[in-house]
A and B are shown apart, each in its own frame.
Chain A
């Protein structure tokens, strides 16, 4: 066997893996917001819906190759980090794609999708989307606004539509009405958190 440094390399490997995870979250901030519940044993999972239906959780695997830098047999820590960062970016993309596929399936299942009919995103469409969604509110009564994911090429348009939502009196009123309705719905839902006879 060739001379080696197993203990040191395990530590380095741990550190690089930690960097990998951090980088995945940096590249795909949406993933970073998702809570991770570890399953320590077994492989199957299920959950009960509010209607009492038991649904099984199908686990999906996502993987990306993570190899050494191509610079040669010898490389520095910075180069190893770059390799890790590249793989993390790929993982971020793969997991985000998987997330949206899953989301699409779920949304389709409950029939809650909105077809824009090829129209560009508008403030009215955003309001219409919010109107179909369930909102939660924080302890001060402020709505927990959902995350809107869009293609970066639409950045300017999205910004513009959100500005309209914040400035046009008609849209402001519509938004306020929707949020008031949502707050009432939320109040109603929250008031069900109790023990009854």
Chain B
């Protein structure tokens, strides 16, 4: 069964992105040091992945998803293959005089005889010309490696296998079912098991990346970038949880973690490219599209600005900043705070606006969110209130359109807020005393709610079994000095090192896990943004 599943996955994809992350993970697991991976888009000198093999020889890989390769396909890709072989690897970690790298063409099918002969002949010519030979990794090799190394981590229990298949067959145009995906990751990483040997966990981590690559394929096929971003950030977060729980050394899990983050970054970039090349954001049945349009636009604005913010936190510059700025200025009136789950999207927009010198507009966004919360969740107003960040956007929309309130029917959202404290502190950091003073009467009626997972590594899980929900009312009266002091507190001892050292991950993490938005995390990110700005 496992063999059939892996074969089906490998043969059904029609672009290299479908197995690229999994293949990188395979190489890392075999002891390769990954030096470079080109993101979607143009290949660099015919090389999608550059590694140093365990015997210290540089290797270059070109990945294809062409199925069986006959002469017409070969003629089409030959130029890129020649680049792969003939252009030396140019990378700071590879000595310039290192002429003989290993060149690999990787494909999810087989070579037709005619092509195999051509490659054989070409290799002989290349040897005479002093170029490396072309090695071909075909479907059979990929299949064997994936099954051997990762196959036994495929879910074997019927319940887990069912979940795995449900995710695999999930409608790729919908948003990733985050709770279900987390359950899958928990089981793949054996997080719920009391004890797991470190060697076993290392293999499980590597396999989880491969399996995630597999189950996310329906979203990739549909170019559903937001779901891919969410999926890969969740993979990265669950890897950290499993590693931290087992006190695994950073070296043991960092490669898989980075691969997941890189996959999320690729999806962010692809998303930005798609959005900036479009002018119409309607989609599907026009009769119902208007009912979800503003939510879609909010997601678009949030993730689009997240791309630029993410690169900024990484210390890189985005080539699309100006275009994103124009996009935000044109569409920001279409933002909708459907629940507290949307707060991280608004924060992303606000941080972006500040970075492009639109300070007033950024603060306007923050005040708008605070106003919506204090009015929406004001106690005893007799309305539904803004749903807490635990409810998915789809749940909220279902309730909003009167379809089914589900679990939300048993809750009252009035009188408290998970995101308000963070927002108040952000505004205090910006010295917006007058605005806050004007709203303080309303703010003080709401209780700040904050969930603190226990142990700390459970922060990275979608659902923490243990932890404490803390409620606190703002002080009456509140001292402005004290408020500013708290807002500017830069003692982050409570924050995990992973998040401190990788604020770009923290940023994406909060975007995908809105229920983990805690004041201390927002302060840390705001510090990073202000430093960098």
Instruction: Give residues in A with beta carbon < 8 Å to B.
Output: 18, 21, 35-48, 50, 54, 189-190, 192-197
Contact = CB atoms under 8 A, between A and B. Distances in A.
B394 interface: no
B293 interface: no
A47 B416 CA distance: 12
Interface of B: 379, 388, 390, 407, 409-412, 414-416, 433, 436-437, 440-441, 444-445, 447, 449, 451, 453-454, 463-473, 476-481, 483, 515
A14 to B, nearest CB: 9
Contacts of B471: 37, 45-48
Contacts of A44: 454, 466-469
A175 to B, nearest CB: 23
A37 B412 contact: yes
Contact of B410 (A38, A47, A189): A38
25 contacts: A35-B412, A35-B414, A36-B410, A37-B415, A37-B471, A38-B390, A38-B407, A39-B469, A41-B451, A42-B454, A42-B466, A42-B467, A42-B469, A44-B466, A44-B468, A45-B469, A46-B468, A46-B469, A46-B470, A46-B471, A50-B476, A189-B476, A192-B477, A196-B477, A197-B480
B470 A42 contact: no
A38 B388 contact: yes
Nearest to A138: B380
Contact of B440 (A35, A38, A43, A195): A195
Nearest to A39: B469
Contacts, number: 103
Nearest to B385: A35
- Judged by DSSP, the binding face of B is mixed
Contacts of B481: 197
Interface centre among A43, A194, A195 (most CB of B within 10 A): A195
A62 to B, nearest CB: 15
Nearest to B471: A47
B395 to A, nearest CB: 12
A35 B469 contact: no
A22 to B, nearest CB: 10
A195 B476 CA distance: 8
A36 B411 contact: yes
A64 B347 CA distance: 45
Nearest to B410: A36
Given A37-B416, A44-B469, A46-B471, A194 B451 contact: no
Contacts of A37: 411-412, 415-416, 449, 471
Given A36-B411, A38-B411, A47-B471, A195 B437 contact: yes
Contact of A193 (B440, B447, B449, B479): B440
B513 to A, nearest CB: 11
A170 to B, nearest CB: 33
